[in-house]
């Protein structure tokens, strides 16, 4: 669980400017594709969702995000697009910073008390979801991930 907290805290520490609902982020040019993410399961319309996109297992495990964004929560669903992504295996980690303080809240045992999720709706056991469960391929077509906050 400490590893999950560390991962989510790393997301909170990302010094990113807040972007509007339905944000699109660009990456290096070349032969590229896009990723559309729809986040559902939002219980409280407050704060922001912090989303990190990782290219490859090593980056995912070290929380070295390729791209990250903070999106204000304005409804029960959030949509984000990452454009101009090179083909490859990616993973997403995110959490809902309900109170907007930039930190993942935890209980006395260190368990997260704010909603979080991973690509493919993968779940971790005593830590973040494993790469093999959370990874997905982005090819020549636009990829779609529908992620449910829990």
Q: What is the 3-state secondary structure (H, E, C) of the chain?
A: CHHHHHHHHHHHHCCCCEECCCCEECCCCCCCEEEEEEEECCCCCCCEEEEEEEECHHHHHHCCCCEEEEEECCCCCEEEEEEEECCEEEEEEEEEECCCCCCCCECCCCCECCCEEEHHHCCCCCCCCCHHHHCEEECCCCEEEEEECC
Predicted confidence at residue 3, as pLDDT, reads: 54
Residue range 49-84, pLDDT digits in tens: 999 999 999 999 999 999 999 999 999 999 999 999
pTM of the complete model: 0.81
| Adjacent-strand bridge partners of 55 | 90
Predicted confidence at residue 125, as pLDDT, reads: 86
Residue 17 has pLDDT above 80, yes or no: no
**CA 147, 52, 88: angle at the middle one, nearest 5?**
85
Residue range 98-132, pLDDT digits in tens: 999 999 999 998 889 999 999 999 998 888 999 99
Residue 28 has pLDDT above 80, yes or no: no
pLDDT > 90: percent of the chain:
73
Residue 8 has pLDDT above 80, yes or no: no
Structure tokens at 149: 């906050």
Predicted confidence at residue 127, as pLDDT, reads: 85
Predicted confidence at residue 4, as pLDDT, reads: 53
How far is Cα 150 from Cα 141, in angstroms, rounded to an integer?
28
Give the pLDDT mean for 11-34. 52
Give the pLDDT mean for 89-99. 97
Which domains are assigned to the chain? Answer: 2-148 (2.60.40.10)
* Mean per-residue pLDDT over the chain, rounded: 86
Strand pairing report for 33-40 and 143-148:
parallel
């Amino acid at each position: 669980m400490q590893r999950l907290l560390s991962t989510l805290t790393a997301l909170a520490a990302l010094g990113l400017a807040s972007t509007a609902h339905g944000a699109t982020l660009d990456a290096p040019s070349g032969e590229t594709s896009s990723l559309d993410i729809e986040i559902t399961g939002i219980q409280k319309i407050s704060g922001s969702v912090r989303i990190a996109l990782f290219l490859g297992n090593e980056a995912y495990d070290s929380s070295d995000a390729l791209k990250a964004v903070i999106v204000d929560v304005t409804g029960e669903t959030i949509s984000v697009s990452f454009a101009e992504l090179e083909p490859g295996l990616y993973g997403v980690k995110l959490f809902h910073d309900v109170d907007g303080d930039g930190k993942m809240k935890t209980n006395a045992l260190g368990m997260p008390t704010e909603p979080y999720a991973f690509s493919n709706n993968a779940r971790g056991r005593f830590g973040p979801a494993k790469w093999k469960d959370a990874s997905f391929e982005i090819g020549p077509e636009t990829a779609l991930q529908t992620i449910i906050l829990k």
